[in-house]
Amino acid sequence: MPHEFRPMQVERAVAEIRGRIRAREYASGMHLVLRALAESLDMSIIPVRDALAELEQEGLVEGEAGRGWRVAAYNPESLRSLAELREALECQVARLCAARATEEELEELGLMARQADRADQSKDIATIAELEMRFHLRLAAIARSDKLRRAIERAHVLQLAFDPIEHDPIRDETHVRLVRAISRRDADAAEREMRKHCAGTAEALGVEPEKKKRCVKSGAGTK
């Protein structure tokens, strides 16, 4: 990589390390050796250190006092609060999409939704994660809110990185139902479908819906 400017190196290192964490190549809690990391990225340690500082801001890695960095460690509480954040962001995106998506975009979303739902039936976690992320970032882009899109991207990456368990084939046409509601321009229904979807994802990631249980003690199951 001849004379790549440092900001570009940092950007590349951030993207690469983020990708490795997402792909579970670097597991939750794993210690990151700066020098080895720099070598694997074919760059000096300075831009890699800057990249780690940036990833620390995103919550993907954590500084260890005097020992460098490690991949952020899984913690049920942080996972729950992340799921709650994602639900809030995604529900707003679903509402905005119902108002703002063009006809072409609805068609595109329909296609992506079918792909994502088909992947959900498989055990191929990498593909599930990839299609899931692509679908939800596309939704956020169609909502025409750059800040929401970025926040959702961060939440997704964190949620995937913290995922402690194997997925079961989970949901049943959840993306298709969501897109149907968006296509009807029904913001309330879109929000409802998204909320269900987020709850399903959180459950698949091992987040106990603890607070809901507490609120509706004698309520019927929602299965």
Judged by the rule CB under 5 A, the positions of this chain that interact with Zn ion are 132
Closest to 97 in 3D by CA, of 137, 136, 140: 140
Nearer to Zn ion by Cβ, of 132 and 163: the residue is: 132
CB of 58 to Zn ion, least distance (A): 21
197 within 8 A of 120, measured Cβ to Cβ: no
Nearer to Zn ion by Cβ, of 87 and 132: the residue is: 132
CB of 157 to Zn ion, least distance (A): 14
67 within 8 A of 29, measured Cβ to Cβ: no
DSSP symbol at 64: E
d(CA 56, CA 81): 18
Residue 63 sits at the vertex; the CA angle it makes with 4 and 22, to the nearest 5 degrees, is 65
CB of 165 to Zn ion, least distance (A): 17
Nearer to Zn ion by Cβ, of 61 and 179: the residue is: 179
d(CA 93, CA 44): 40
DSSP symbol at 17: H
d(CA 136, CA 124): 18
d(CA 25, CA 41): 14
Closest to 73 in 3D by CA, of 86, 65, 84, 63: 63
Nearer to Zn ion by Cβ, of 132 and 191: the residue is: 132
CB of 197 to Zn ion, least distance (A): 6
Residue sitting closest to Zn ion (CB): 132
Nearer to Zn ion by Cβ, of 12 and 192: the residue is: 192
CB of 185 to Zn ion, least distance (A): 20
CB of 90 to Zn ion, least distance (A): 8
Nearer to Zn ion by Cβ, of 12 and 138: the residue is: 138
